[in-house]
Structure 1
Amino acid sequence: MKPSFLNPLQSLRPAPVLLPLLSRAQMSSSSRIPSPPDNGVVLGCGAVSVDFLATVAAFPKPDDKIRSVNLKVEGGGNTGNALTCAARLGLKPRVISKVADDPQGRSMLEELEADGVDTSFMVVGKEGNSPFTYVIVDNQTKTRTCIHTPGNPPLVPEELTHANLSSALDGANLVYFDGRLWETALVVAQEASRRKISMLIDAERPREGLNDLLNLATYVVCSEKFPQTWTNAPSTASALISMLLRLPNLKFVIVTLGEKGCIMLERSTNASGQEEVVVESLLESLKTSMDASSLLPICISSKSSLRISANGIGAVSGRLLLGKAEVIPPSELVDTTGAGDAFIGAVLYAICAGMSPEKMLPFASQVAAAGCRALGARSGLPKRTNPRLAPFWM
């Protein structure tokens, strides 16, 4: 079929743009927040840790001695953060990971439980150390540098009994993996696959065992560099095509781009009478149609009946979506630690709640932006009642 570039776009969903128009009274009355989804049980398997966050005026040079501006100690780890976010939004998360029976491990469990995360499937080691991370937040560049110390000894599959695994998966609507603890994660993923439970994988960077998890994935959320690194494709957009071709179980893949927003490629089952378009041209069309003046997260998508191709790679039936991140005023931007985890936590909620992709991407961006307004990965994570989320409940 000859490639077509006629009208490859559909109108974007306007709801997220309404936030500045809501009065305080309207925000208060918008407490008509829908009940959390009935099928809101999600299981996460991966990293939990304690973060020691030090804010400094500027990142130190070698052999410098500097003082911190602020210091905070709170829970961290990709899975711990994402599940905390999901719990505050209304899901019922369960977590599989490991800590030691030390003060850090006990504080991690207490913090997760206080936020509504079920820790009854955690492994608590009698010796060794719990994982922790030093996070240096640069006030000048608004960047963070992480120095992680893994837990020791690490979690091994033998420590997760079959009875615990079965109970953890009972009633679960979705399982999330951050790519850590891969041997145990693969055991969990294989059982989830046998039970036909959907799985979301956080592909932050290539890790041992990640390919095996990706082969079982229903959804993938990637860091900016991962798609090209994993596929050797010439561009991010063409790499997304390659990922859907290599992973036939995948329903969608999202690549997060920080302050530049995100791109999503969703697979379509409708293969009849489709126009064909080159993915690079389609992405440029979306960028051109995007309202660059919006300060709030918005999304625009192509038509759903497209055959999207990448030169030298192949083609998939689907649609491409482009999300714009919220523009956070410099005076409000505090720390980007855990922004990607917050995005994933919101995506977990959106999947369970049946949100459309056009609503899910701005929602996840809004949740991530809220988290960037406080020091640490969890302090700024919004609850369902947060006024910034009001438009998404309408």
Structure 2
Amino acid sequence: MNGSYYKYVQVGCGGISVDFLAAVSAYPNPDDKIRTTNLKIQGGGNVGNALTCVARLGLKPRIISKVANDSQGRDILDELQTDGVDTSFLVVSKEGTSPFTYIIVDNQMKTRTCIHTPGYPPMIPDDLSQSSLLSALHGARIVYFDGRLYETALVVAQEAWTKASTIPQALVSMLLRLPNIKFVIVTLGKDGCIMIERSVDGPSTEIDIDSLVESLKTTKKETVTIPTCISSSVEKLKAKGIGTVSGRLYIGTAESISPSELIDTTGAGDAFIGAVLYAICAKFSPETMLCFSATVAAAKCRELGARSGLPYRTDLHLASFMQ
């Protein structure tokens, strides 16, 4: 595989924070007093986690976000810089507080509950000059937004909002409403993910997207524990009451993790996204991209916190993808 993509720059804009992770034997009832089984303090935030994943895989991400000049803000910057994320375009407020999140990880039910406190003052467009913005975007291969900056989130929500009654129908609707999008993916936790890749041409016969999803699901091998991907041929995908789009449907499975290995799902989606950003730059096929991203997300779930388990590109679990 050609390694020239390592020179590509990725830009991420969105949330970063400090995560206070408290693992407990079971989620507390009101007025309970319990002890932690493990405690960890580390960086978090959707875009911060995803770009840390990208950096550990060997690429060169730049982050656009905001922290305050407090101890938490300095820790956030130090951790990102240590992992190789370019923080040159991160805004530091002289006053205020940096964002942070309390996370309760239930060892029994394998769930996590997040209580987030946004940073103050919040980031506004004027925080970043036009020249800084252009510099941040210079040479960028891909730009990722996590929707945490609410002005951007509102625009995205207005464009991507659908009246679909099922997830597959919503993916078709998004491709119809956003004609420049090449593909859309939705993650489904332990149930894997669904992706539709747009195609210019397709057959004239329409096929119901929900029926196609169910048909592909019946071909999955339930005994396979590693991430796999199955796909349809190019079809004219129909979402009832919404419209049709030509495309190929992919269903990716998640890695099967034993209960003894499953520690914490915090940031699993961010890890998946970071791996997708890497896969796009590396020009992976859709099948390889989904299996790779599921493998990266699974590695994260074996450690407490959003970043502890993020693998480096030399990780043996990724060897088959890094040939």
Amino acid at match of 1:296: I
1:92 is aligned, of 40, 57, 60, to: 60
Whole-Å separation in 1 of the counterparts to 2:204 and 2:229: 23
How far the C-alpha of 1:232 sits from its partner, in A, is 2.7
Amino acid at match of 2:291: P
Q: Aligned pair 1:59/2:5, yes or no?
A: no
Whole-Å separation in 2 of the counterparts to 1:333 and 1:389: 19
Q: Aligned pair 1:37/2:34, yes or no?
A: no
Question: Which residue in the other structure is 1:280 paired with?
Answer: 210
How far the C-alpha of 1:247 sits from its partner, in A, is 1.5
How does 1:1-394 map onto structure 2 within 5 Å?
35=3, 37-183=5-151, 186=152, 207-211=153-157, 214=159, 230-271=161-202, 273-304=203-234, 306-394=235-323
Runs of 4+ aligned residues of structure 1 deviating over 3 Å after TM superposition are 33-36
Whole-Å separation in 2 of the counterparts to 1:315 and 1:356: 24
Q: Identify unmatched segments of 5+ residues in structure 2.
A: none
Distance 1:333 1:36, change over 3 A: farther
Whole-Å separation in 2 of the counterparts to 1:309 and 1:143: 35
Whole-Å separation in 2 of the counterparts to 1:323 and 1:107: 36
Amino acid at match of 1:322: I
| Cα displacement string for residues 73-120 of structure 1 (whole angstroms, at most 9, x for unaligned residues) | 000000000000011111100000000000100000000000000000
Distance 1:38 1:381, change over 3 A: closer
Q: Is the 8 A contact 1:371 1:382 kept in 2?
A: yes
Q: Is the 8 A contact 1:36 1:90 kept in 2?
A: no
Whole-Å separation in 1 of the counterparts to 2:185 and 2:7: 23
Whole-Å separation in 2 of the counterparts to 1:87 and 1:371: 15
Q: Aligned to 1:174, what secondary structure does the other structure show?
A: strand
What TM-score do you get using the length of structure 1 for normalisation? 0.80
Q: Is the 8 A contact 2:10 2:142 kept in 1?
A: yes
Amino acid at match of 1:160: L
Let me know the Cα RMSD of the aligned residues: 1.4
How far the C-alpha of 1:209 sits from its partner, in A, is 3.5
Amino acid at match of 2:44: G
Amino acid at match of 2:108: Q
How far the C-alpha of 1:275 sits from its partner, in A, is 4.1
Amino acid at match of 1:234: S
Give me the identity figure in percent.
63
Q: Is the 8 A contact 1:182 1:210 kept in 2?
A: no
Whole-Å separation in 1 of the counterparts to 2:2 and 2:181: 29
| Cα displacement string for residues 14-33 of structure 1 (whole angstroms, at most 9, x for unaligned residues) | xxxxxxxxxxxxxxxxxxx8
Question: Which residue in the other structure is 1:194 paired with?
Answer: none
Whole-Å separation in 1 of the counterparts to 2:205 and 2:182: 20
Q: Is the 8 A contact 1:51 1:75 kept in 2?
A: yes
Question: Which residue in the other structure is 1:190 paired with?
Answer: none
Q: Is the 8 A contact 2:313 2:322 kept in 1?
A: no
How far the C-alpha of 1:40 sits from its partner, in A, is 2.2
Question: Which residue in the other structure is 1:191 paired with?
Answer: none
Amino acid at match of 1:89: L
How far the C-alpha of 1:45 sits from its partner, in A, is 0.4
What TM-score do you get using the length of structure 2 for normalisation? 0.97
How far the C-alpha of 1:234 sits from its partner, in A, is 1.8
Distance 1:61 1:239, change over 3 A: same
Amino acid at match of 1:146: C
Distance 1:250 1:34, change over 3 A: closer
Amino acid at match of 1:375: L
How far the C-alpha of 1:231 sits from its partner, in A, is 1.7
How far the C-alpha of 1:210 sits from its partner, in A, is 2.7
Amino acid at match of 2:224: S
How far the C-alpha of 1:276 sits from its partner, in A, is 2.6
Aligned residues: 323
